[in-house]
Structures are given as structure tokens and as C-alpha cells.
Amino acid sequence: MSQPSVLFVCLGNICRSPLAEAALRARAVEAGVAITIDSAGTGDWHVGRPPDPRAQALALAHGIDISSYRARQVTAEDFHRFGHVYALDPQNLKDLHRIEPSHHIADLRLLMDMVPGRKGTAVIDPYYGDEHDFEQAWADVCAAADALVKRFRR
């Protein structure tokens, strides 16, 4: 069986989805599980830019350097390249359904649906928020990363 592939999608690809990418990369290495991981945004405002400095600082505080990540916009082609596409919030999921090709291989769902007790909930957008909002987003993407590693370890 080929290795699982995961794409995380938020709005700007500079806060939540890069943190989700970082968390899953770290957890996958710790668990010895090989997963192809990427992230993207539904919007194009930040394409080519590194993650928000607050997200970079937060990841680094947890030992993960995400300064080399660069934002990109999700494409219809991604639905043919990734087995799993996870939306960080319900609006992202709606926007993904809008560009979803009629036939594709991706299992598209809300990320927090993977976490017991969090079905239907969002990883709250911390962009206009404060440090606490970033910490909350980090806690959420780490809980999701743990659930995904468990799932893909099987």
C-alpha cells in the first residue's frame, strides 16, 4: 500500500494549516509513521510568503522550525494528489467543496471531526487574535495530529 498523503487547508496558509503540518510532521517522526504532508490556503493573499511570525515563534517554542514553509493556494489538482484533505474550519470545508472536481481520490473532511468529542468544530482562526488564540490553535492541531498518527499507524 502506498503511504498516506495529507493536505491541511485553512484560509491564508500562514497560521493554522502550517501549524497542523508542523504538528503532524513532528508526531509522524516520533511515531515512525511515513506520511506525505502538505498545507495550502483557500485564499491567495499570502501566496509565496512564510508563515505568520507568531505561528513561526509558536512552532519554534515547541522545537519545530517552520520558517522554510511557503504559502500556496489549494487547487483542484490537489484532490487528485492527496488521499486526505482536511479543512481547518467549516467555511474552509465549504470553499473546498466549491472547487472539488467531480471525480477524485481525496477523502475531504473537517479536521476536528478526527478528534473524539470535537466533531463539527473549527480550529479557530487566530490571525486577528492574540497569543492565547495561537496556543488554542496549536493545542487543536496537536490533538488532530495525534488522532491522525493513530489512524495511519493501523
Q: Which residues bind ligand 4NP (CB under 6 A)?
A: 10-16, 41, 45, 125, 127
Nearer to ligand 4NP, 15 or 143 (CB): 15
Answer yes or no: are the C-beta atoms of 16 and 48 closer than 8 Å: no
Tell me which of 10, 38, 89, 95 is the catalytic residue.
10
Sheet strands side by side (includes 36-41): 36-41, 5-10, 84-87, 107-110
Q: Is position 125 annotated as part of the catalytic site?
A: yes
Q: Is position 65 annotated as part of the catalytic site?
A: no
> H or E stretch including 138?
helix 131-153
Locate 34 and state its grid cell: 511515513
89: nearest Cα among 115, 125, 132, 118: 125
Q: How far is the CB of 63 from ligand 4NP (least distance, A)?
A: 21
Nearer to ligand 4NP, 117 or 128 (CB): 128
Q: 16-31 and 131-153 are packed helices; what angle lies between their axes, rounded to 10 degrees?
A: 40
CA dihedral 117, 6, 88, 63 (to 10 degrees): 90
Q: How far is the CB of 103 from ligand 4NP (least distance, A)?
A: 28
Tell me which of 89, 95, 125, 140 is the catalytic residue.
125
Q: How far apart are CA 119 and CA 123, in angstroms?
A: 11
Nearer to ligand 4NP, 87 or 115 (CB): 87
Q: How far is the CB of 19 from ligand 4NP (least distance, A)?
A: 8
Nearer to ligand 4NP, 41 or 149 (CB): 41
Tell me which of 16, 27, 38, 95 is the catalytic residue.
16
Residue nearest to ligand 4NP (CB): 12
Q: Is position 154 annotated as part of the catalytic site?
A: no
What does the longest C-alpha to C-alpha distance in the chain come to?
A: 43
Residues serving a catalytic function are 10, 16, 125
